[in-house]
Amino acid sequence: MVALSPASMRTKKTMRAVGIPVVDLSLDRSIVSVQIVKACEEYGFFKVINHGVPREIISRLEGEGVHFFDKPAGDKQRAGPATPFGYGLKNIGLNGNKGEFEYLLLHTNPFSIAERSKTISNDPENFSCAANDYIEAVRELASEILDLVAEGLWVPDKYVFSRLIRDVQSDSVLRVNHYPPVKNRDPSSKACKDDQIGFGEHTDPQILTILRSNDAAGLEISLHDGFWIPVPPDPTQFYVIIGDALRVLTNGRVVSVRHRALANSSRINSRMSIMYFGAPPLNTTISPLPEFVSPQNPILYKPFTWSEYKKAAYASRLGDCRLNLFKQ
């Protein structure tokens, strides 16, 4: 069943409770596909439970992440700078966006991971195994979710979306973000606000994102009317974020959610999140599928390749609406 994970927020105008969809993947497939499509249409975001990813696979990669980010700054910098892959600190992209965090960005290609692991870990083989096992597991989860989306939308070819991220040339990436606890800040200071941004608002450009974080809060999503709501952390489950590419493929039927991460306001606990960004091969043309175009629903976006959209993303500011560049 779909349960609603309660969250509330207060503004000068109103206070209201908002539920984040929770989808149980162990239920009947026909029911789950309808529930997922509803969540994609209304939120572009949902939590999945009974996802089938073994806890051991999650724990191993989390342990590798904790070990890396606990290293002295000089040791971590050996894995950088991120260009775009490797270790990065505070910088987001090439256009001046910054945040209160550090990260590892890896291409999901096993050969690329094997090479990068040499500067990330003292035991490169162990790190590579942990990363590759995690990627394989969450890719399967992402593919299953995309197949359920296709089924729920009554697309004749139910593999039309998942085929793109299963392709051996897929441009999918793995990102591990670390938000250290606040240090040496006066809580009463005007500069010290709970809403200081750790990673600014944006949509994900890829097809979809599988996100997992530890038990420290910070993630927020924006509703259609601009309200920001907090997402309760749940280290045992995964959150699914719909990306711009899937929005285009469905001609706007599903939405790509704007989201952000607040700076870690804790003085004790670090926040760490792991994201698998499922993307197609670079030369893939992204355009609305014929099933979603009709006289009543005219085509909304011009065709573009994934490579072209990536270039547009790198050339823009983090919070820009990049899809506007490709509207009809």
Residue 129 in 3-state DSSP? helix
Q: What is the pLDDT of residue 94?
A: 52
**Confidence class of residue 195 from pLDDT cuts 50, 70 and 90?**
very low
- What pLDDT digit, counting tens, does each position of 211-231 carry? 999 988 889 999 988 889 999
How far is residue 227's CA from residue 221's CA, in Å, rounded to a whole number?
8
Mean local confidence (pLDDT), 46-75 = 96
Asked whether the predicted pLDDT for residue 22 surpasses 50, the reply is yes
**86-95, 146-155, 166-175: least confidently modelled range:** 86-95
C-alpha dihedral over 164, 167, 169, 173, to 10 degrees?
Answer: 70
Contacts of 290 (CB under 8 A, 6+ apart): none
Q: What is the pLDDT of residue 93?
A: 54
Three state DSSP letters for 228-257 = EEECCCCCCCEEEEECHHHHHHCCCCCCCC
Q: In whole numbers, what is the pLDDT of the chain averaged over residues?
A: 88
How far is residue 29's CA from residue 284's CA, in Å, rounded to a whole number?
29
Q: What is the pLDDT of residue 157?
A: 97
Side-chain-facing half-sphere of 209: CA atoms under 13 Å: 26
In the structure encoding, which two tokens stand for residue 154, read together? Answer: 């009554």
Whole-model pTM over 0.85: yes
Please pick, among 212, 247, 253, 271, the residue that the annotation labels catalytic.
271
**Confidence class of residue 175 from pLDDT cuts 50, 70 and 90?**
very high
Identify whether the C-beta of residue 279 lies closer than 8 Å to the C-beta of residue 295. Answer: no
Could you write out the DSSP letters of every residue in 69-92?
HTS-HHHHHTT---SSSEEEEEEE
Q: Which residue has the tokens 């497939």?
A: 29
How far is residue 278's CA from residue 146's CA, in Å, rounded to a whole number?
10
Contacts of 260 (CB under 8 A, 6+ apart): 197, 198, 199, 200, 201, 202, 219, 220, 222, 228
Q: What is the pLDDT of residue 92?
A: 61
Asked whether the predicted pLDDT for residue 6 surpasses 50, the reply is no
Q: What is the pLDDT of residue 263?
A: 78
Q: What is the pLDDT of residue 5?
A: 44
Asked whether the predicted pLDDT for residue 31 surpasses 80, the reply is yes
Describe the chain by its helix, strand, coil percentages, rounded to 5: 30, 25, 40
267 is known as an active-site residue:
no
Q: What is the pLDDT of residue 97?
A: 52
Q: Which residue has the tokens 């206070």?
A: 15
Asked whether the predicted pLDDT for residue 33 surpasses 90, the reply is yes
